[in-house]
Amino acid sequence: MHRNQLEESINDLLEGVISEQDFAKLQQELKDNAEARNTYKQYIQVQNTLEQHAAGTNTLTSSNVIPINQILKKQQRRQIKIALISAAAILVLSAVLLRLFFVDSETPPSLAFQTSPGTLFTITHDGAEDQPNGQTMHPGSRLQLSQGAIELSFASGVKSIITAPADLTLHAEDQLYLGEGTAWFHVPKGAEGFQVKTRDLNIVDLGTEFGVLAKTNDHDEVHVLKGKVEVSALRVRKETLTLDAGQARRIDPVGRLTLIESKPSAFLTSLPQSLLFLHWSFDQKQGIEVDGPQVDGNHPLASEVISKYHGAVQSCKGRRGEALRLNSNGQHVTTNWPGFSGVKPRSVAFWIKLPKGGQPQEFAAIIGWGDNSRENYKWEVVVRQNSSDQKGRVSISWGTTIINTFPVLTPERWHHVILNDYGRTDAQGDPVISIFVDGQQVESRFWARTGDPINTTTYTADALPLSMGVTIRHSSIADRRRYLKADLDELYVFDGALTAEQARQFYTKQLSYVKKTTGSTPIKSKRKTTN
């Protein structure tokens, strides 16, 4: 053993950190090497002198050599002492961690939330070192909802259902800022004083159930469903009122709270089991006179949408029950629903059967809404037929930006079509869409790509509400409207865009409902020739 190695082993022995393997080597070296034993004695003498000096003994006289067994006992005592100190440190650290975990006053209470199927959202947290895990929010957390719905569960017991588009920030345990969204709140006993703020309103609960509409391009509203709330305008007049159940107010531009009709149906009170949708089945009960096709669906606005026939509309046997037959002679359907605005994600789905013979159709609209007075301010689904085989192409048109499929619709045959607009653009700035025909995604390409950025507009004077069978043309060019010649059945409008998998699942479900029938019968309408 080299001298340096010997000295290191002796030092480790005296410090109590020598390993069993090194200790065995040291014993063998001391047994075999006299010089090593002398070195060991010198180290022991120095160690004894230092210990005596530390104990207050000034003598520097040499002492007897300490036997190695005594050193080992000392080493064992030292190791036990170190172990006890380490265990005590662990206990102290554990106590501190448990205190941090269980003491509510040191950790802001989180808000938990759940989402409905198909919901898309982003969440950010305001500078906290320990970011919340899972679907939770802490004061300062901001959640932006692009489609779907969420259910908020506050620590106080307050519940809320909010539908997209929405932008909300948790300011405190009992205070929520709603920059945009349609929100319902239930405040239990003991949680009075809960607050909701919007850009224009401050709403303080007085033990109640209420709804809030926060809009980016319109005035905010509050609707009291049960109990009472105190609402204050944040604009110039800053009017404050206490509202009772059944009352509703909208803020005006100068801060007055104007009386409006209360609409409890505008708010969801539980999470839906799918994306929100409106549905037109075109089925009519025999012998009942109607002005337009009935609307259903899980969308809160379904009960408020009114549809109206124009022209001598007929019904025919569809893929499921009855279908709507349009013959391009002015027959179409209008509604009072403005449609989705901006770049909000959306999907539409329907069965369609094109005719064969006659003049091929060019840009005949299946469904659409918006403002055609400016470029790319509308949203429309149109069909074009080839002049040769009369196969049809399906297109999404925003105005001067149009995306076509290849000819995929065979005439005189039912096809199921789903069009998904995801409300975003790709790296080249092009809209992201997908089109499915009979359950298969089909290729599409641009037919035109010009004009202003896409921005479906529903609130201008020239904007038209959702219509079926007629192109979206503002009043100054109404004579250029084109009418569809086709049979339509089972039309859905989704508040959100279906994924590819959801689109295929939806088609499979629709296919299971199909009943092959033929024939044609007129709809008994009160107003057959309304224009």
Q: What single letter denotes the amino acid at residue 111?
A: L
478: Cβ–Cβ under 8 A, 6 or more apart, which residues?
A: none
pLDDT at residue 521, as a whole number:
46
Q: What are phi and psi of 133, to 5 degrees?
A: -100, 150
Higher pLDDT, 71 or 291: 291
Residue in 207, 243, 245 with CA at minimum distance from that of residue 225: 245
Q: How far apart are CA 490 and CA 250, in angstroms?
A: 36
pLDDT at residue 12, as a whole number:
72
**Count of all residues that appear for the chain in the document:** 531
469: Cβ–Cβ under 8 A, 6 or more apart, which residues?
A: 324, 326, 331, 332, 333, 364, 365, 366, 483, 484, 488
> From residue 531, how far is each of 144, 312, 362, 484, 527 by CA, in Å?
42, 10, 22, 15, 9
The mean pLDDT of 367-395, rounded to a whole number, is: 92
Domain ranges for the chain, please list them: 3-102, 111-266, 277-514
Q: How far apart are CA 296 and CA 316, in angstroms?
A: 20
| Strand 195-197, strand 175-186: pairing | parallel
336: which 2 tokens? 């009072």
> From residue 524, how far is each of 24, 288, 317 by CA, in Å?
107, 7, 15
- Answer whether 111-266 and 277-514 agree in fold: yes
Q: What is the pLDDT of residues 274-296, one digit of tens each?
A: 999 999 999 976 544 578 999 99
pLDDT at residue 38, as a whole number:
77
pLDDT at residue 52, as a whole number:
53
**Structural domain 277-514, CATH architecture:** Sandwich (2.60)
pLDDT at residue 93, as a whole number:
55
Q: What is the pLDDT of residues 429-454, one digit of tens each?
A: 899 999 999 999 999 999 888 889 99
pLDDT band at 135 (very low <50, low <70, confident <90, very high): confident
Q: How far apart are CA 79 and CA 85, in angstroms?
A: 10
> From residue 109, how far is each of 32, 151, 172, 227 by CA, in Å?
70, 17, 9, 27
Q: What is the pLDDT of residues 464-509, one digit of tens each?
A: 999 999 999 877 787 788 999 999 999 999 999 999 999 999 999 9
Residue owning tokens 């239990």: 188
Q: What is the pTM for the complete model shown?
A: 0.74
Q: What is the pLDDT of residues 173-227, one digit of tens each?
A: 999 999 999 999 999 999 999 999 999 999 999 988 999 999 888 899 999 999 9
Q: What is the pLDDT of residues 291-333, one digit of tens each?
A: 899 999 999 999 999 999 999 888 899 999 999 999 988 999 9
**Contact of 328 with 364, CB cutoff 8 Å:** yes
pLDDT band at 526 (very low <50, low <70, confident <90, very high): very low
pLDDT band at 519 (very low <50, low <70, confident <90, very high): very low
pLDDT at residue 450, as a whole number:
86
CATH assignment of 111-266, given 3.40.109.10, 2.60.120.1440, 3.40.50.300, 2.30.110.10? 2.60.120.1440
> Is 240's pLDDT higher than 90?
yes
